[in-house]
Structure 1
């Protein structure tokens, strides 16, 4: 029997406590595995996910109300329209929706969980389906939203909800290996928003790779995922420099480089910097930015295709599809010097 909470075993549904008991961890660890992946190790996360799969925890897709009332219109909800990553995803979603003769409504949450939920509740009665790009809401709230209309979560894997995300494991491994080859034995991770699921995944992968290579890694406090978020971190970085930085995204990496230059610290002479996204700014920045490429075309079009399939009544893909990432080396990284 299908339920909002997931599959049932016998007469009772599988709960977070069942998963915790079987995996030998606390219920809060199970919760963090799915909503705050940065707070659990890869080995623990894998064990919890394996147990959750075996028990059928949220293995069934959430039942959604029919989207016929809002025929031909899709709501695309993003955290920040000033971020090229999100605008790139939006354009690809629009292109693919147009192919199916659907129009799109673009809405911005400005990183607010409250506003994100309010927007979903407002638009649900008038749209056929909803695409949440990098949603900040907790998993349980996203599942509730998925009951209102067919919904796809982009850049975040939510159990019980149709999702597509980026597999950053290869790109993160390549980035850490690149810095290790250049001679760095310590680095800083410039963190993004605290509520970012993808940011938590990036940190977990980077930390794991650094641990395997004997690299000391420090994590900054959460910062705004903007140029100014990176810019404002420069003085803090210089209080305890590591010689290398991996930033949550390209905008933050470029902001950091600009601020450090004004403080007399040149990239890559004094510090090597790597970003995530490979957006247009990364190619024209000074110096051109070494970054982890993620295909916005595959992510956006894949999300739209998933929603169109849901609207047509097709079953969701299991496991959820992922988009691979890989490192692109440019001039913002160089061999470790005595100064760095």
Structure 2
């Protein structure tokens, strides 16, 4: 980046004060998403990136630091990925920093630029940014995308096809002819993959399928959907993740509907809570540990100048059968 480009230039293009630009990059949580997006667009347009305080900061811990950017640290799936990445980094002499975008696209990019001066590479975990922005990030430093396929950028994804087929087949064997998919964030790439895979298998088995509006990928998100579901119940439900599935079960129970006597649910992820819930949750195991270790290995290889596959590295999902699916009423 040319040292002639400053925050004052960004402020002029964005139509905000220099202090707002500084606050956007230093403390993104203190500005609105709209302001953050306006500042980031202006910075991209004129080629501004925050300068490192010292060039040596990239190597403060052993061989250096990598950054892991996730949508939500409260989600057990992302926490498991981070733990696996940390284990892989520690074994190779690297340190790790973690930050969350809280599902805000503009903040995801701001965080990337914020950590860029201090790290040797970045793992973008389930990023919500558009592909073109991710490719732009990958041009700035070694980058690997996790749980999303972006053409031209090394990525590690989960192959859910066989597990989803087993889940839909299981519902069919239990006598269900209608199914609801509780969708996650509209910006989630893997959410689109889940929907298309479920839809294809339902079409193959002549099962009627409906899709919810985008819901928050949380317990509350599943709970909030209950009233909409009860307007046209299908009996069988697949949720975007386990948290939503558990929230849905809790919401249905409050309204007098027990699982699996009155309805059946399958989740995604296989969080620890899935096995401890009542009833224990049938779910599609998404191998977070393998995903994290493979992604970290790919990034560290890229940092070291090794070969990294240009196409997606895949790890398989599997169906875990427990007690949240019963026979159709």
In the other structure, the counterpart of 2:233 is 241
The partner residue of 2:139 within 107, 132, 147 is 147
Higher CA-based Rg = 2
Q: Which residue of 1 aligns with 2:207?
A: 215
- The counterpart of 2:283, out of the listed 275, 280, 291, is 291
Equivalent position of 2:190 in the other structure: 198
- 1:332 match: secondary structure: coil
Aligned residues: 271
- Deviation of 1:315 after TM superposition, in Å, equals 2.2
| 1:188 matches 2:180 | yes
**Residue of structure 2 equivalent to 1:115:** 107
How far is 1:303 from its partner? Answer: 0.5
Q: Is the 8 A contact 1:153 1:162 kept in 2?
A: yes
After superposition, give the CA deviation of every residue in 1:216-267 in whole Å (9 maximum; x if it has no partner): 0000000000000001011111111000100000000000000000001111
Displacement of 1:294: 1.4
Say whether residues 1:306 and 2:298 are aligned partners.
Answer: yes
After the TM superposition, which residues 9-28 of structure 1 pair with which residues of structure 2 at under 5 Å, given as runs? none
Q: Which residue of 2 aligns with 1:48?
A: none
Q: Distance in 2 between matches of 1:69 and 1:318?
A: 29
2:217, 2:56 → 1: CA distance? 36
Q: Deviations over 1:169-193 (max 9, x none)?
A: 0111111000000000000000000
Structure 2 counterpart of 1:174, from 149, 160, 166: 166
- The alpha carbon displacement at 1:296 in A equals 1.3
Per the alignment, residue 248 of structure 2 pairs with 256
- Contact between 1:81 and 1:108, CA under 8 Å: does it hold in 2? yes
1:189 and 1:105 map into 2 onto residues whose CA distance is 35
* TM-score relative to the length of structure 1: 0.78
Aligned residues of 1:69 and 1:128 also touching (Cα < 8 A)? no
Does structure 1 retain, via aligned residues, the 8 Å contact 2:180–2:210? yes
Tell me the distance in 2 between the aligned counterparts of 1:199 and 1:317.
24
1:13-53 superposed Cα distances (whole Å, 9 cap, x missing partner): xxxxxxxxxxxxxxxxxxxxxxxxxxxxxxxxxxxxxxxxx
| Equivalent pair of 2:58/2:117 in contact (CA under 8 Å) | yes
3-state DSSP class of the match of 1:322?
strand
User: Could you report, residue by residue, the CA deviation over 1:287-321 in whole angstroms, capped at 9, with x for unpaired residues?
Assistant: 00000011111100001000011011122214321
Is the CA contact 1:68–1:128 (under 8 Å) kept in the aligned structure 2?
A: no
Q: CA deviation at 1:115?
A: 0.2
Quote the Cα distance in structure 1 between the aligned partners of 2:220 and 2:284: 20
Deviation digits for residues 138-173 of structure 1, max 9, x if unmatched? 000000001111001000011111100011101111
Calculate the aligned-residue CA RMSD, in Å: 1.1
Any conservation in 1 of the 2:154–2:311 contact (CA below 8 Å)?
Answer: no
- Specify which of 117, 141, 151 is matched with residue 125 of structure 1: 117
Say which of 103, 106, 109 aligns to 2:98: 106
Provide TM-score, normalisation by structure 2.
0.81
Structure 1 partner of 2:4 = none
Report the Cα distance in structure 2 between the residues aligned to 1:86 and 1:163, rounded to whole angstroms.
Answer: 16
